[in-house]
Amino acid sequence: MEVPFDILGTVIPGSQRGRELGYATANVALPTELPDSADGIYAARVTVLGIEKPFMAAAFIGKPTTFANEPRRAEAHLLDYDATKHGELAGKEIAITFVYFIRKSKRFSSPEELSAAISGDVRATQRFFESDHPAA
């Protein structure tokens, strides 16, 4: 899938597995026309309705298959979002702009393996934004 592209939507409740792993995510339903070829991990910018500054995010598109066969969706882990300052994201309108493809998604054999991969994705996202691609 060619970047950049956007997904707009309301943050919906998730399974809380990302939060349990230390990587809380904002989950958004996918538009039906988004092709499966878009599935993967990306560096992204997330804009929250009512907040001027966009946030850096490690984002996922696909079916989270490590724990169970769940519906295909978009998930974004906002690296610089402070819920104590801006409030919880559930129910808020957001725009996720996918700006850089990091890797294809895959199934992991354990929560620890998934957590290690997410940690690498977060580092890749940080490197992308630090290398002359600011979030704002």
Cis preceding-peptide flag for 4 (omega within 30 of 0): yes
Q: What is the pLDDT of residue 63?
A: 83
Averaged pLDDT, groups of 10, the chain, 136 residues long: 87 71 83 84 94 93 75 89 84 95 89 88 94 66
Q: What distance in Å separates the CA atoms of residue 124 and residue 58, rounded to the nearest whole number?
A: 8
Q: What is the pLDDT of residue 59?
A: 96
Domain spans, the chain: 5-130
Q: Three-state secondary structure along the chain? A: CCCCEEEEEECECCCCHHHHCCCCCEEEECCCCCCHHHCEEEEEEEEECCCCCCEEEEEEEECCCCCCCCCCEEEEEECCCCHHHHCCCCCCEEEEEEEEEEECCCCCCCHHHHHHHHHHHHHHHHHHHHCCCCCC
Which CATH architecture does the domain made up of 5-130 adopt?
A: Beta Barrel (2.40)
101 burial via Cβ count (<10 Å: 0-12, 13-18, 19+): middle
